[in-house]
Amino acid sequence: MGELQHSLSRHRKYILYLLAIFVFCWGITPYKAIFGGLILGTAFSLFNHWLMLKRMHRFNTALERGNKVQSLGTMSRMASAGVAAIIALRYPDHFNIISTVLGLMASYIVIMIDFFIHFLINRKTGEER
């Protein structure tokens, strides 16, 4: 569990850096709606990532104790993505819907990139996970 906690903490840090870049670009470029959508989607993506981390911790604890395993909260993550889409559709002057959807995928993109980087590093050094 320690390695999983470390990698999820690293993902959260990368998402926050990405969010900071989007906020910076929102402030200096004329593309306010596009970067506003990216900020909105990435913020909800960060929330979904935190929710997934919390549910995974509960899932692992239940497995260790031999208790019944509950769901990982797919419906609540989809509902929060729906809320982000509704906000973007309600305020199209401030948030671009396409960039909001791209922002919602930010945590999954970060997870995939991090996995491939660590896979290549471990493959190059000959380490097994």
Q: Give the domain extent around 83.
A: 2-125
Q: Report residue 1's pLDDT band, with 50, 70 and 90 as the boundaries.
A: low
Is the pLDDT at 72 greater than 80, yes or no? no
Instruction: Enter the pTM of the model.
Output: 0.85
Of residues 22 and 3, more confidently modeled: 22
Task: Give the separation between CA 112 and CA 79, rounded to whole angstroms.
Answer: 23
Q: What percent of the chain has pLDDT over 70?
A: 96
**Count of the separate structural domains present in the chain:** 1
What's the pLDDT tens digit per position in 83-102?
Answer: 999 999 999 999 999 999 99
Is the pLDDT at 5 greater than 80, yes or no? no
Amino acid residing at 32? K
Task: Give the separation between CA 114 and CA 118, rounded to whole angstroms.
Answer: 6
